[in-house]
Chain A
């Protein structure tokens, strides 16, 4: 336990690597685990945020701001993706009145 606490005395890049790996894996698990489209979508957002945190950390430890600019681009893309994804969702909901991806039977999942 003391050793564990000791490893947190200074926060290094490996802590952020680990944090982001855990967050990314939670996102992947969510995509596979859930059936509700909206929650799957949120899990994908978690994956993107894991990437963002890691980029910011690398940017800080390398002392180079281009990593932060890339985070900015990822946010831009995520915003656009959310708009399109939710539009698709609204369109589907108009047709079938459900957001369970298994209700879409024509194409097997």
Chain B
């Protein structure tokens, strides 16, 4: 785990995440989110999670982001139509975010340091993850198919043109 690579990636991740939240135009938010996801892919590579790195690129930066962009374009949302929230609410939002961060960060203090575990050649590759997925996690994998059929049926129900509702 290269410290310099970690630092650069982390700065990129956090600054692009901030830009996602604070950009005025939703299109910019999506573009920043893509950069954020790319930097997270970098983190996965640093963490020897090669399979996840690829899946993250394909699923998140590929499919999910295209879906977001597609909907924004379809609904013509690329204008700054968002009405302003009162300043006090915005301040409260930022404040509670900071508080949460402080609480989380404080709870991380003093967690026992440990060096990275020694790993096998297979760790994090499609082979290694696949073996775990299809042995220990076979049942949730199968059950997740119900989740997908639900999502597919649901999207069709909600998205199709109204006939006589």
Residue positions of A touching B, CB distance < 8 A: 8-15, 17-19, 21-30, 32-36, 38-39, 41-43, 45-46, 49, 52-53, 56-57, 59-66, 68-69, 71-73, 75-84, 86-91, 93-94, 98-100, 102
- The CA-CA distance from A91 to B115 in the complex, in Å, is 50
* Cβ contact within 8 Å between A60 and B104: no
Q: How far is the CA of A63 from the CA of B124 in the complex (A)?
A: 10
Asked whether, in the complex, the Cβ of A14 is within 8 Å of the Cβ of B111, the reply is yes
Chain A residue at smallest Cβ distance from B162: A94
B: interface residue count bin: 35 or more
A56/B6 contact (C-beta < 8 A), A36-B26, A86-B71 known: no
Chain A, Cβ-Cβ closest to B98: A25
Q: Are A100 and B147 in contact (CB under 8 A)?
A: no
Q: Say whether A21 contacts B159, CB under 8 Å.
A: no
Could you say which of B20, B97, B133 contacts A39, with CB atoms under 8 Å apart?
B20
Chain B residues within an 8 Å CB radius of A30: 20-21
CB of B63 to closest CB in A, whole Å: 7
The 3 closest A-B pairs by CB, nearest first: A63-B117, A29-B97, A32-B93
Given known pairs A42-B33, A56-B44, A100-B82, the reply for A87 and B154 (CB within 8 Å) is: yes
- Which of A11, A79, A93 has its CB near the most chain B CB atoms (within 10 A)? A11
Q: How far apart sit A76 and B59, CA to CA, in the bound complex (Å)?
A: 9
Are A42 and B94 CB-contacts (below 8 A) given A8-B6, A72-B129, A76-B147? no
- In the complex, whether B163 has a CB less than 8 A from a CB of chain A is no
Q: Do residues B40 and A43 form an inter-chain contact, with CB atoms below 8 A?
A: no
Q: Tell me the smallest distance from the CB of B30 to a CB of chain A, in Å.
A: 7
Give the shortest distance, in Å, between A98 (CB) and chain B (any CB).
7
Please determine whether A79 and B96 come into contact, CB atoms closer than 8 angstroms. Answer: no
**23 A–B pairs (Cβ distance < 8 Å), ordered by A:** A17-B108, A19-B43, A22-B14, A27-B17, A28-B96, A29-B21, A29-B97, A32-B97, A33-B90, A33-B97, A42-B30, A42-B68, A43-B20, A49-B40, A77-B147, A78-B64, A80-B148, A83-B155, A84-B151, A84-B158, A91-B159, A99-B75, A100-B83
Which of B55, B81, B92, B98 is the one whose CB lies under 8 Å from A72? B55
Contact A38 B93 (CB under 8 A): no
Determine the distance from Cα of A99 to Cα of B94 in the docked complex, in whole angstroms: 22
List residues 61-108 of chain B with CB under 8 A from any CB of chain A.
63-64, 67-68, 71-72, 74-75, 77, 81-83, 85, 90, 92-94, 96-98, 100-101, 104-105, 108
